[in-house]
């Protein structure tokens, strides 16, 4: 083949994309539901009874039960936020005689990729906005200690965690054992801990609107 990159892609079973698609599967960090055009989507607000600690009452000597009234919840209508791409276009009369017939498809794929990145960035910004759940790194602690603290802060509420990292943190995880080979007097395997804790490490790469995700 004249196109060596396409031959490699065929062997690997994956296309080569110089712009890189969004490496973060939104389904790993969010519950996805779809809505039809014009459909009103309503959610029910959590009441105090939904989020309080579990409480169990014992039956008294006379067989009496403790009655607790639960207030009805009020549905809230979700507001949708639109995303607008650049108004790019490709002329049909320029495509028809061209040897490359995939120009329009590549443009459409690029728009979809950019919107996906923007969606991921909005989710990450929302997560970072929950300031009361921040985990800070104390003096003397390294990346391993920080990840353990993060797990301990949420382990009472779930499992199968998703750890979203940038390129620098992903590199620090990859070289952690080698960098600390002379520092530790015992085996500290950061990747082994991630695997045992059920943590999926997902690297976020790419840019949107001129800024990194």
| Mean of pLDDT over the chain | 79
Task: For residue 142, give its domain range.
Answer: 4-32+82-212
Q: Does residue 138 belong to any structural domain of this protein?
A: yes
Q: Does residue 56 belong to any structural domain of this protein?
A: no
Q: Does residue 55 belong to any structural domain of this protein?
A: no
Rounded Cα gap, residues 163 and 165, in angstroms: 6
Cβ atoms of 177 and 190 within 8 Å: the answer is: yes
Q: How far is C-alpha 184 from the geometric centre of its chain's CA atoms?
A: 33
Cβ atoms of 199 and 167 within 8 Å: the answer is: no
Rounded Cα gap, residues 135 and 141, in angstroms: 12
Q: Tell me how many domains the chain contains.
A: 1
Residues 6 or more apart whose CB falls under 8 angstroms from that of 115 comprise: 83, 85
Q: For residue 52, what pLDDT is reported?
A: 64
pTM: 0.64
Whether the per-residue pLDDT at 184 is higher than 80: the answer is no
* Residues 118, 123, 124, 126, CA torsion sign: positive
Q: For residue 204, what pLDDT is reported?
A: 81
Q: Does residue 44 belong to any structural domain of this protein?
A: no
Using one digit for the tens of pLDDT, what is the confidence trace for 128-170? 887 777 888 888 888 999 999 999 988 888 888 888 888 889 9
């Amino acid at each position: 083949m004249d196109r060596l990159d396409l031959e490699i892609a065929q062997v690997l079973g994956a296309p080569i994309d110089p712009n890189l698609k969004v490496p973060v599967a939104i389904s790993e960090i969010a519950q996805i539901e779809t809505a039809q055009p014009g459909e009103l989507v309503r959610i029910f607000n959590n009441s105090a009874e939904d989020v309080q600690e579990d409480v169990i009452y014992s039956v008294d000597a006379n067989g009496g039960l403790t009655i607790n009234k639960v207030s009805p919840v009020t549905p809230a209508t979700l507001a949708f936020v639109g995303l607008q791409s650049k108004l790019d276009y490709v002329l049909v009369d320029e495509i028809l005689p061209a040897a490359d017939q995939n120009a329009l498809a590549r443009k459409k794929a690029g728009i979809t990729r950019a919107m996906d990145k923007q969606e991921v960035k909005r989710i990450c910004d929302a997560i970072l906005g929950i300031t009361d759940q921040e985990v800070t790194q104390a003096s003397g602690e390294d990346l391993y200690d920080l990840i353990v603290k993060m797990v301990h802060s949420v382990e009472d509420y779930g499992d199968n965690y998703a750890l979203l990292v940038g390129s620098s943190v992903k590199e620090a995880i990859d070289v952690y054992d080698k960098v600390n080979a002379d520092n530790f007097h015992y085996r500290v395997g950061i990747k082994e801990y991630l695997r045992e804790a059920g943590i999926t490490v997902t690297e976020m790469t790419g840019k949107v609107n001129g800024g990194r995700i």
